[in-house]
């Protein structure tokens, strides 16, 4: 175990730590090539010690070893492949000597590991196995030499950065900082999105995740500010000193230290845990940043817990438990949102954020409705919760999963903090875009309720102990317009006996029917959310009335929509939805609004 490993994470949770700045660009100004820069660990260690000391005197609490390019592939390009162990070991010893000469005891040595500089298959010739082995070679040497922490930095590809983190974790438990580079456009060179990339690295057991190099402080701040304000991960940033300018054939960084100081203050206010510099930064930049960083407490501290601890507390962290607090006590409003049809989920998150601003209490995420392919509802539910802080009711169907998959995915949902589940049978695959796809239906919604209840007791369907109760809030659907309402209510009673906590109806358009349903269910001891679907126009109403089984739109609604002028249609649609909502509020404790393409109507409705 290294000198200060046990102190690093606790220090990080108590104060924002200042890291050092660039080395290669400083030495480039001295006329040293990249090969000379790394080789001087052996030939000119005093020059490296000198720069380390300047950074420590400037206020840096973390200094990086001069080993960024000291992996086997990079060294081979410099003709130094036989010197890998010597160069990496010397890099650590040089950092130790610099700390010793400085007289400072609170400086951490970060073993620097950069990208390999070679493409992984299918883009290049390196396999993942070879990638991991090359990383392990260098990282093992750094660990043996006595680094306090490992910093994996400047990686343009999540694939490569992730493999480096995994390689390190097979060797040692010392803290890991994992940083990637992103372009001004907001993605990495390989198309990785920052939030997803950093969360993936954290899930792989990186203790700190962040961004360095490629861009200056302005673009880096814009890239990360929303993420910083919504995450509980430890985050590091090391921006360049702006963009270099070509002067007399040389790339020169002209950004002044005071400018980085301004952004260092903004980063601290936004919630970073570590801030330093990358290309173009000097001890003068770090000294300026130290004035606004040293002694600052982090906006939040992150405590790393085991998977079991996360499972037990995830429903209580990062969440506003509005639904749990209000349902059955106050009127609640939930909105149904479909998962995205592709990988770009950002517009859907923005839609959710807009709905939250209008006072929505929870979001409901559908599960491949109408048997059409969409992003995993569990994955999207998790993204919604961690990025917006609002509770999600996950629609979970039996169509696509056998008994094994149902239980595995439900445990996964619990581990991700998704605890509100609406148990549904699901539309058969034959109605969707892939009619030849197999519909499983090992169980129906009633069987799914029993499985959920068992997981809440801490056991699977086979009686296997899952160690911690899942603590799901179980919901069931009920149809107020069922041909035989008595039979429908009897089915709901059976589900309540099996563990259902709340119920939810299909969209209701008939207020008289709603009142009858309220009378028939008044003795049930669970809250019922009533479905409300705003109608866009007469064609929408006629379609539902004539083509959707079990849906009948009253004449008064259809006549009002058909009589409205085009310029009056939005107002009429909002008025009808408002009347239906008032009827729901008079009888039931909550509403479930189906948005579909009716965003403007919903926004007007909620704004009233």
Whether the predicted pLDDT of 598 surpasses 90 = no
Whether 127 contacts 141, CB under 8 Å: no
Instruction: Write out the two tokens for 328.
Output: 């059955």
pLDDT in tens, 120-174: 766 677 888 898 999 999 999 999 999 999 999 999 999 899 999 999 999 999 9
Whether 336 contacts 364, CB under 8 Å: yes
- The winner for highest mean pLDDT among 46-60, 237-251, 329-343 is 46-60
pLDDT score for 242: 84
SS3 state at 395: strand
Q: How far is CA 249 from CA 226, 288, 290, 375, in A?
A: 38, 29, 33, 49
Residue carrying structure tokens 């899930």: 203
Domain at 213, CATH number:
3.20.20.330
Opening angle at CA 171, ends 170 and 176, nearest 5? 90
pLDDT score for 247: 61
Neighbour-count burial of 465, counting CB atoms closer than 10 A to its CB (0-12 exposed, 13-18 middle, 19+ buried): exposed
Compare 559 and 463 and report the one with higher pLDDT.
Answer: 559
String of DSSP letters for 188-201: -TT---HHHHHHHH
Mean pLDDT over 354-358 rounds to 87
Neighbours of 432 (CB within 10 A): 17
Distance (Å, rounded) from C-alpha 42 to C-alpha 34?
A: 14
Residue 270 falls within a domain, yes or no?
yes
Question: 57: closest CA among 295, 265, 284, 297?
Answer: 284
pLDDT in tens, 395-428: 999 988 999 999 999 999 999 989 999 999 987 7
Distance (Å, rounded) from C-alpha 361 to C-alpha 332?
A: 6
pLDDT in tens, 449-493: 999 999 999 999 888 889 888 989 999 999 999 889 999 999 999
Whether the predicted pLDDT of 312 surpasses 50 = no
Instruction: Write out the two tokens for 133.
Output: 């082995």
Question: 174: closest CA among 108, 96, 265, 259?
Answer: 108
pLDDT in tens, 37-78: 899 999 999 999 999 999 999 999 999 999 999 999 999 989
Whether 211 contacts 250, CB under 8 Å: no
Confidence of residue 447 (pLDDT cuts 50, 70, 90): very high
Residue 360 falls within a domain, yes or no?
no
Question: 372: closest CA among 350, 407, 399?
Answer: 399
Whether 451 contacts 464, CB under 8 Å: no
Whether the predicted pLDDT of 296 surpasses 70 = yes
Distance (Å, rounded) from C-alpha 337 to C-alpha 488?
A: 26
Mean pLDDT over 261-279 rounds to 94
Compare 520 and 313 and report the one with higher pLDDT.
Answer: 520
Residue 506 falls within a domain, yes or no?
no
pLDDT score for 147: 96
Helices 569-587 & 555-563, crossing angle to 10 degrees? 160
CB neighbour list of residue 64: distance below 8 Å, 6 or more residues apart: 19, 20, 23, 110, 111, 112, 151, 153
Neighbours of 157 (CB within 10 A): 20
Confidence of residue 249 (pLDDT cuts 50, 70, 90): low
Does residue 122 have a cis peptide bond before it, meaning omega lies within 30 degrees of 0?
A: yes
pLDDT score for 596: 64
Neighbours of 536 (CB within 10 A): 18
In the sheet where 274-275 sits, what is the strand order?
Answer: 17-18, 274-275, 235-238, 208-212, 176-180, 149-155, 108-113, 62-64
CB neighbour list of residue 429: distance below 8 Å, 6 or more residues apart: 371, 399, 400, 435, 436, 437, 438, 439
Compare 51 and 13 and report the one with higher pLDDT.
Answer: 51
Whether the predicted pLDDT of 304 surpasses 50 = no
Distance (Å, rounded) from C-alpha 388 to C-alpha 383?
A: 8
pLDDT in tens, 534-551: 998 888 888 888 877 778
Percent of the chain with pLDDT over 90: 63
**How does the average pLDDT of the chain come out, rounded?**
88
Query: What residues form DSSP beta bridges with 531?
Result: 507, 592
Instruction: Write out the two tokens for 282.
Output: 């000097």
Domain coverage including residue 225: 5-304
Neighbours of 223 (CB within 10 A): 22
pLDDT score for 430: 64
Could you say which DSSP state residue 445 is in?
H
Instruction: Write out the two tokens for 589.
Output: 């404790």
Q: Which helix (H) or strand (E) element contains residue 91?
A: helix 84-102
Distance (Å, rounded) from C-alpha 536 to C-alpha 452?
A: 37
SS3 readout for 118-185: CCECCCCCECHHHHHHHHHHHHHHHHHHCCCEEEEEEECCHHHHHHHHHHHHCCCCCCEEEEECCCCC
Residue 583 falls within a domain, yes or no?
no
pLDDT score for 603: 83
pLDDT score for 588: 95
pLDDT score for 146: 95
Q: What does the radius of gyration of the chain's CA atoms come to, in whole angstroms?
A: 29
Residue 136 falls within a domain, yes or no?
yes
Q: Say how many domains are in the chain.
A: 1
Residue 351 falls within a domain, yes or no?
no
Residue 253 CA from chain centroid, whole number: 34
Whether 552 contacts 543, CB under 8 Å: no
Instruction: Write out the two tokens for 514.
Output: 């709603």
pLDDT score for 555: 94
Mean pLDDT over 91-102 rounds to 96
Whether the predicted pLDDT of 307 surpasses 80 = no
Whether 370 contacts 395, CB under 8 Å: no
CB neighbour list of residue 47: distance below 8 Å, 6 or more residues apart: 27, 40
Q: How far is CA 572 from CA 44, 538, 565, in A?
A: 80, 11, 9
Could you say which DSSP state residue 492 is in?
H
Residue 584 falls within a domain, yes or no?
no
Parallel/antiparallel/unpaired status of strands 149-155 and 176-180? parallel
Neighbour-count burial of 165, counting CB atoms closer than 10 A to its CB (0-12 exposed, 13-18 middle, 19+ buried): buried
pLDDT score for 377: 94
Whether the predicted pLDDT of 512 surpasses 90 = yes
pLDDT score for 324: 78
Helix, strand, coil content of the chain in percent (nearest 5)? 50, 15, 35
Parallel/antiparallel/unpaired status of strands 208-212 and 176-180? parallel
Whether 598 contacts 337, CB under 8 Å: no
pLDDT score for 568: 92
pLDDT in tens, 187-232: 888 888 999 999 999 998 999 999 999 899 888 998 999 899 888 8
pLDDT score for 308: 36
Torsion 154-158-164-165 (CA) sign? positive
pLDDT score for 6: 46
pLDDT score for 246: 61
Residue 17 falls within a domain, yes or no?
yes
């Amino acid at each position: 175990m290294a000198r200060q490993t046990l102190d690093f994470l606790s220090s990080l949770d108590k104060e924002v730590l200042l890291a050092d700045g660039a080395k290669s660009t400083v030495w480039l100004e001295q006329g040293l090539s990249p090969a000379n820069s790394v080789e001087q660990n052996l030939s000119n260690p005093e020059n490296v010690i000198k720069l380390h000391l300047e950074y420590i005197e400037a206020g840096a609490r973390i200094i990086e070893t001069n080993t960024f390019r000291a992996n086997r592939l990079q060294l081979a390009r410099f003709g130094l492949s036989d010197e890998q162990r010597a160069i990496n070991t010397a890099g650590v010893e040089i950092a130790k000597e610099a700390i010793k000469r400085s007289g400072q005891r609170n400086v951490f040595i970060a073993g620097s590991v950069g990208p390999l500089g070679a493409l992984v298959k299918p883009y290049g010739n390196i396999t993942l196995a070879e990638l991991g082995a090359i990383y392990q070679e260098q990282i093992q040497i750094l660990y043996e030499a006595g680094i306090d922490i490992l910093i994996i930095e400047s990686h343009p590809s999540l694939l490569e950065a992730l493999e480096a983190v995994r390689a390190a974790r097979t060797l040692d438990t010392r803290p890991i900082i994992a940083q990637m580079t992103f372009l001004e456009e907001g993605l990495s060179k390989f198309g990785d999105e920052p939030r997803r990339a950093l969360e993936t690295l954290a899930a792989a057991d990186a203790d700190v995740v962040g961004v360095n190099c490629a861009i200056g402080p302005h673009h880096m701040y814009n890239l990360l500010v929303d993420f910083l304000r919504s995450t509980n991960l430890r985050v590091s940033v090391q921006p360049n000193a702006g963009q270099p300018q070509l002067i007399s054939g040389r790339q020169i960084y002209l950004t002044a230290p005071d400018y980085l100081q301004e952004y260092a203050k903004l980063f601290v206010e936004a919630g970073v845990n570590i801030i330093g510099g990358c290309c173009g930064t000097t001890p003068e930049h770090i000294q300026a940043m130290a004035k606004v960083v040293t002694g600052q407490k982090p906006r939040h501290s992150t405590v790393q817990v085991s998977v079991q601890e996360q499972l037990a507390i995830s429903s209580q962290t990062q969440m506003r438990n509005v639904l749990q607090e209000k349902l059955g006590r106050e009127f609640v409003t939930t909105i149904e949102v479909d998962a995205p049809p592709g990988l770009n989920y950002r517009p859907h998150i923005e839609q959710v954020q807009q709905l939250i601003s209008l006072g929505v209490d929870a979001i409901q995420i559908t599960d491949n409705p109408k048997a059409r392919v969409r992003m995993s509802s569990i994955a999207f539910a998790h993204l919604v919760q961690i990025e917006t802080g609002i509770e999600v009711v996950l629609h979970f169907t039996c169509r696509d999963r056998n008994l094994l998959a149902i239980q595995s995915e439900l445990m996964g949902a619990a581990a991700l903090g998704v605890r509100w589940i609406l148990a549904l049978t699901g539309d058969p695959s034959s109605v969707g875009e892939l009619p030849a796809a197999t519909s499983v239906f090992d169980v129906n919604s009633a069987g799914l309720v029993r499985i959920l209840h068992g997981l809440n007791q801490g056991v699977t369907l086979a009686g296997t102990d899952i160690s911690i109760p899942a603590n799901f809030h179980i919901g069931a659907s009920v149809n107020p317009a069922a041909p035989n309402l008595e039979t429908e209510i009897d089915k709901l009673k059976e589900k309540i006996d099996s563990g259902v906590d709340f119920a939810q109806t299909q969209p209701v358009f008939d207020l008289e029917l709603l009142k009858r349903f309220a009378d028939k269910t008044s003795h049930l001891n669970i809250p019922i959310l009533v479905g409300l679907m705003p109608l866009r126009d007469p064609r929408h109403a006629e379609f539902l009335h004539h083509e959707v089984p079990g849906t009948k739109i009253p004449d008064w609604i259809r006549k009002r929509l058909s009589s409205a002028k085009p310029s009056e249609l939005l107002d009429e649609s909002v008025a009808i939805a408002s009347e239906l909502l008032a009827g729901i509020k008079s009888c039931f404790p909550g509403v479930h609004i189906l948005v579909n393409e009716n965003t403007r109507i919903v926004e007007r409705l909620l704004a009233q």
